[in-house]
Amino acid sequence: MKKTTIIAIISFAAGLILAAFLFVYYPKNENQTAFLQETESAPLSSNLYAFPPQQPNAKLDFAAVAEKISPAVVSITSIKVEKRMTSGNLFNDSPFDDFWDRFFGTPRGQEQEYRQEVRGTGFFISSDGYILTNNHLVEKAIEIKIKSLQGEEYEAEVIGADPQTDLALIKVEGKNLPYTELGKSEELKVGEWVLAIGNPLGFANTVTAGIVSAKGRLIRGIINELPYQDFIQTDAAINRGNSGGPLVNMRGKVIGINSMIFSPSGGSIGIGFAISSKLAKNIITQLKESGRVIRGYIGVTVLAVDKDLKSSLNLKSKKGAVLNDVVEGLPADKAGLKRYDAIIAINGEPVESDSDLSFKISNSPPGKKITLTIIRDGEEKNIEVKVAEKDGEEKIEDVATSGGEIGISVKEMTPRLAKYYNYKTDTGLIISEVKRYSEAHKKGLEVGDIILEANRKKMDKIGELEKIVKRTKPGDAILLLIRRESRDRRGSTQDFIVTLRTPE
């Protein structure tokens, strides 16, 4: 019993000594906080990717940014006219057309005009009425109506447009208008907060928030793929009607122009794309000065450097671009560039990728000499190339008669165009448009088909086909020899005969 008492007394004394030690020597927590209050965290090692070091926390005042930018955002309504061929009977575009026409005398295809309204967004970039928006909103518009947040309405004119980046500059008459400034999209970081402001589905001045999901996106394999791309991907909600509106950072600067979404349903699923302000700045300057964009060109097609190309061509890295083809007679060919050459720098500035090479060359003024650093057969060398001006879009002309048209538009096929579309055939007339409900549409002609012959005469010039169409009497048929090429690796071709009757 005495032994047990002694052990208890010793334990109690030891506990008192330990408690006194902790009370005296353990540091006090000067910064006591509530349970959910944010506390300052110690910096963590840079190799802990899941928990990066805390960055300076900019004030996330969405309301202040929206209040600053919204007055400069406008709604755009473009009026467009679309021409369509109608057959004038109940069995429109059906196998019963010939039966109905022959026995009941219903008039055949007639062209009718349909007015269409296209709605979107834009924003003032100057106090004197310049508005930046998407080209696809105002292209071929016969009237452009603008309405501001303040309720003011204007008529706009197109100053210039660039289909290759989907940007357009339009203008209204006005003074002291609220406007926005373009920021530096190249300084954006993935994960930054951004706001998208626009008129989705007709709901004016809608503001949505999200983050920068990715930078430098290239969207391949879509219809009307843009040759020059530098997209910012965001999960801020973007829907139809947001096109042309600003994507804004938390400093109130426009760092992107909302352009498109990826969606199987047609509505936002958090994958939206905005054209970077870095790309837009150069385009705006040229459109304002000359109404068009002048680009440099040396006559090459390029490939991205992947692991296999890097190994096969004995390259040190996957940066740069490999020449896939060199067009005969153009600057690159004249300078001595060859297929399989890897371009790694322009004027000493490193080339990061195939798209980076395209941008650097296109931004080089025509007539200027540039120095390309290339790797050929494992050896590095410099080659000087004089930049030429890249041609604008090939002229598209309608093939028509005084009494109507056969429903197609064509371009003259050239070796350069054939290489661009990866065609084996480099002569003839390539169909660039097939109008709905036209005779050509009913007979199954498609964009990309090549007209080799018309009435058994070889076709190389648009004027040759026009003459044949004009000489053909209404209701008579034109005999066409068509070639359809597959642009896949197999490169298969199919030739077939089609007859097209001119409208009566």
Nearest to 189, CA basis, from 237, 246, 238, 250: 250
Site of tokens 């001006």: 389
Lookup: tokens for 197: 């402001």
Residue 390 burial (10 A CB sphere; 0-12, 13-18, 19+) = middle
| Residues 303, 310 contacting (CB under 8 angstroms) | no
d(CA 186, CA 277): 8
Give me the catalytic one of 87, 97, 136, 230: 136
Q: What is the DSSP string of 363-427?
A: TSPTT-EEEEEEEETTEEEEEEEEPEEPP-SPP-EEEEETTEEEEEEEEE--HHHHHHTT-S--S
441 noted as active-site residue: no
Lookup: tokens for 479: 């005999």
Nearest to 75, CA basis, from 195, 208, 240: 240
Going 150 to 156 to 158 to 159, the CA torsion angle's sign is negative
Q: Could you tell me whether strands 73-86 and 397-401 are parallel, antiparallel, or unpaired per DSSP bridges?
A: unpaired
Lookup: tokens for 286: 């040229």
Contacts of 342 (CB under 8 A, 6+ apart): 305, 313, 315, 320, 321, 322, 323, 374, 375, 376
Nearest to 274, CA basis, from 146, 158, 121: 121
| Residues 196, 242 contacting (CB under 8 angstroms) | yes
SS3 string, 284-349, reads: HHHHHHHCCCCCEECCEEEEECCHHHHHHCCCCCCCCEEEEEECCCCHHHHHCCCCCCEEEEECCE
d(CA 172, CA 129): 5
Across 235-299, where does the E strand assignment appear? Answer: 246-248, 254-261, 272-276, 296-297
409 noted as active-site residue: no
Give me the catalytic one of 166, 230, 354, 449: 166
Give me the catalytic one of 87, 243, 276, 358: 243
The residues annotated as belonging to the active site are 136, 166, 243
